[in-house]
Structure 1
């Protein structure tokens, strides 16, 4: 029996789509979630094992690690999808608190998980295991409105390269850096038009685009320490 894949932030949007899709393919899936979401019952009914974990809380991360080490002798992969998105000056948090929160979610928690769960990945009965960090287009370009977010995602991408060196050859470690994947329901027509115009391929690709990238990386036997960009040619505009 194949080892499970851990997906952080599996309760909505991209994480939910990947968890559903992998489970429908017969892959064992473990998911984490920060707060209650409507889809959690559906995931449980599909056989996804769920853990409540707020990555901003150190004790939550330690409990998650303890549970995974106790109940799962091996892992096929970790997909670091959990994310937070706060703009400077647009919340009650101070700039220091915004940076701390972004770093905890996008860098510190993945760092802890990668280190602690490396033995489980090395125990994967398949020939190789995977770690995939979902980063962001803003890693290369930066963002004047989401400075801490962009910096923390850049840290996540650097973690991919460092862990690729540390864990080879048993574990491949890569990043996926999307720009627009899926609009929110409340996004205005003007915002949608403006955002689509930033790419050479002006379309909303949907969550399946990220799933295709995940599948490619997990099926590859010769890609590690790399970032796969999903930006519709936005870097050339």
Structure 2
């Protein structure tokens, strides 16, 4: 049975991936800051829920110890945990907000990659690490500048770790575009996004799951970024 670790697993994409991998018969380790009713409803068969405060090194160390004590190997680590908020929302606490973005998008993936390297490393059947980044890493949105910069840093970490862990671990990223709007998105904001997307429409989360499947199945892919964005990154002219 393959064992998959997903961060930010209690909602949206993380929850979807947890459900999808469980349906495939995988064991899933769901790392989250706090559980959700939807995650709890999945039951306990083949599911290990690990709670961790991403900002606390002691909490992260305890989470790693819990994972290592119950698992001899990992086949896949998906770094999905994310914080997506506008800079202007935090204009009175810009440094604190930036620190939090760093902790979630950069420090957490780096820490887990290093701490769990031995569970993933396998020259005969390399383990996979996938960083979920954003198309804004290449073409930043001015309203989300701090968010974009830390996602860009995560893209750089993808390449660094791909070099460091080869040939026993393959490290890649997936850069999503518009998948599923948040409840807070207004109609004019939705229209603006869709007008800039070649394949306009909400795709849902399935394309990301399919992209993960491609990376896992293709043994000659590492250090790469796969855009799954409906053409948003090139937009309409």
TM over 0.5: yes
- How does 1:122-141 map onto structure 2 within 5 Å? 122=121, 127-141=125-139
What CA distance in whole angstroms lies between the structure 2 residues aligned with 1:141 and 1:133?
A: 18
Q: Is the 8 A contact 1:86 1:98 kept in 2?
A: no
- How does 1:69-88 map onto structure 2 within 5 Å? 69-88=68-87
What CA distance in whole angstroms lies between the structure 2 residues aligned with 1:54 and 1:198?
A: 37
What CA distance in whole angstroms lies between the structure 2 residues aligned with 1:191 and 1:92?
A: 22
Corresponding residue for residue 164 of structure 2 = 166
1:46 Cα offset (Å): 4.6
What CA distance in whole angstroms lies between the structure 2 residues aligned with 1:232 and 1:123?
A: 34
**Moved segments of 4+, more than 4 Å:** none
Q: Is the 8 A contact 1:75 1:123 kept in 2?
A: no
Matched residue SS, 2:131 = strand
CA 1:71–1:123: 2 relative to 1, 3 Å: farther
What CA distance in whole angstroms lies between the structure 2 residues aligned with 1:93 and 1:114?
A: 33
Matched residue SS, 1:50 = strand
Unaligned runs of 5+ in 1: none
- How does 1:47-62 map onto structure 2 within 5 Å? 47-62=46-61
- How does 1:88-237 map onto structure 2 within 5 Å? 88-91=87-90, 94-122=93-121, 127-237=125-235
Unaligned runs of 5+ in 2: none
Q: CA RMSD in A?
A: 1.7
Q: Normalising by the residue count of structure 1, what TM-score does the alignment of the two structures yield?
A: 0.93
What CA distance in whole angstroms lies between the structure 2 residues aligned with 1:93 and 1:158?
A: 29
What CA distance in whole angstroms lies between the structure 2 residues aligned with 1:15 and 1:46?
A: 18
